[in-house]
Amino acid sequence: MKQPFIALAMGAIVSATAQAANYGTDFNLTMLPASGGMAGVGVARPLEPAAALYGNPAALTQFNDATRFSLGATYFDPSLNVEHDGSVTGAAWADDSKASPYVAPAIAVTQPLGEDDVLGFGLTVVSGVGSDFKGAGGPHPGGCSAGGGVFCTSASLDPNAEMLVFGANVGYGHRFSDALSGGVAITLAQGYAQMPLNSDTSSVHAFGVRATLGINYDLGATTVGAYYRSPMSMRYQNLFNNGPSKFSDTTIEQPQEFAIGIANRALMGGRLLIALDVLYKDWSSAEFYKDIYKSQTVIATGAELTTGAAKWRIGYSHVNSPIKKDVGSSIAGNDSFGLNGVSVPLSPPIVQYLQAVDAAVIWLDQVTLGAGYEINKNLRVDSHLGLALNRSEQIGASNVEAKAWQLGAGLTWSF
């Protein structure tokens, strides 16, 4: 009888971590208008100002010929289906998440300070999204007594929540020589977490800071780049209830990240760009995530062909599933939760249920297409289409199926 209490109390908390392209809950460059067409590739040679600002800041020096301003957005529509055998909730059920699609904006400005120095400023969504299983499976067969109770819910126990993290970046790139560049970017982030319990909704917010250090080396037709991104810790006050009249603060930490990339323009007279990025997401040491996720290695590759004023792009990325198998009986230091005046403990089967319902970023492959066109010497338009390919995975007592698609576009002005 305790398990349904825990699932209902926790269902919203982890759902903030569900589904964000092929980079766990981080977006990286996948939601940018041009970079999205190459599966988010851009560590060595970014396609647009925002890709340098939110990727490898050393690459800002590649935009030293003009002031640039870019404005765009990407429509993102994830799908999540869960089939649970009832061993945790007390009722078998199967349903789709009812979470609405999202629009992720992207704004960036780069300003040369001479041939060797470039500043950058921008704003975008760096992490987030969620899931919504309110009402999933219909009314709970356990019934709802006149005085209320845990079974006054759906069969799924109504897990639902959302988390969005907006990041304002300030970046600086410096060219040390014709070949070597370095850069740094600071992210000032504002996060919002919504954790409804028993259909009651609330939202709390938190502030976080992180830094990115990058380096680029230009070998002529080939460019090599790398960066390190620090963890970003955000502490949400009174996020959820641990028991009667007791609320706890909870830290959610976006992980540290290592990336290396290579890009080449030797083919077709320099009109064909081929690039490859490898990123390591250290979920295993990130507060909150380490209890439900394992670390990921993302391999992304893409190409861009220039034909006159037009650019044609294609991309592909692959990643290992982040779902942790050997889960414990706590999440972010919390081993019990309060609901209807009762304090109840967590257990591994409950944590697995929460992974399935709310943290199932289980797709492994994403394919993308994109195009760009220079309307004139001062204005370019870019667009992309991306598909995270459908995949299913058994997580504890639940079978999960997930996929996503996205469509983005934007304009870049040069002055």
Is the domain spanning 2-414 CATH 2.30.30.30? The answer is no
Q: In 10 A of CB 320, how many CB atoms?
A: 12
Q: Determine the Cα–Cα distance for residues 309 and 372; give it in Å rounded to an integer.
A: 8
pLDDT at 34: 98
What pLDDT sits at residue 196? 53
Structural domain boundaries in the chain: 2-414
Q: What is the reported pTM?
A: 0.90
pLDDT at residue 186, as a whole number: 98
Tokens of 121: 């400023």
* Distance between CA atoms of residues 252 and 334, nearest Å: 13
Tell me the residue length of the chain. Answer: 415
Cβ-Cβ contacts under 8 Å for 114 (sequence gap 6 or more): 64
DSSP code for 27: -
Query: Could you state, in chain order, the average pLDDT of each consecutive group of 10 residues for the chain (415 residues)?
Result: 40 42 83 96 97 97 97 94 91 90 94 96 88 85 62 76 89 98 97 64 86 97 98 89 76 96 96 98 95 95 98 97 92 74 79 84 93 97 96 94 95 96
DSSP 129-164: EEEE-TTTTSB-TT---TT--TTSSBTT---EEEEE
Q: Note the pLDDT of residue 341.
A: 58
Residue with tokens 């998440």: 97
Amino acid at 355: Q
H/E run at residue 110: strand 102-112
3-state secondary structure of 270: helix
Q: Are 190 and 205 in contact (CB under 8 A)?
A: yes
